[in-house]
Amino acid sequence: MFRNSFADAAVHPAFRARQRGFAGLGPVCRSCVRSRVCGGGLYAHRYAPAADPVFSAPSVYCDDLAVLVDHIGARLRRDVAELTAPRGKASR
């Protein structure tokens, strides 16, 4: 912080690795149907010493993220169906 500029930090490999988006995910996350929503979870939660690169594993909270993403998706589909249904036809 005292010796380097923001520009120096921005080109550091560890900094750049976090900005790769979908391309920065590991093979499990890239093939996951939830990856466009989940994004592999928080970068730090993808750490696995045996992975290469070490932040390419699925999130340690993968199971929870899957439940959350599925729940939100189901709720959104239901609410959108209700909001777009002809009046008097929607049900909860």
Residues near ligand SF4 (CB under 6 A) are 28-29, 32, 34-35, 38, 40-41, 58-59, 62, 65-66
Cβ partners under 8 Å of residue 90, min gap 6: 81, 82, 83
DSSP H/E element including 13: helix 13-17
Compare residues 42 and 85 and give the one whose CB is closer to ligand SF4.
Answer: 42
Compare residues 37 and 85 and give the one whose CB is closer to ligand SF4.
Answer: 37
Q: Smallest distance, Å, CB 34 to ligand SF4?
A: 4
Compare residues 9 and 42 and give the one whose CB is closer to ligand SF4.
Answer: 42
Q: Smallest distance, Å, CB 46 to ligand SF4?
A: 8
Output the DSSP codes for 23-89: GGS-HHHHT-TTHHHHTTS-GGGG--TTSSSTT-SPPTTHHHHHHHHHHHHHHHHHHHHHHHSPTT-
Q: Smallest distance, Å, CB 71 to ligand SF4?
A: 13
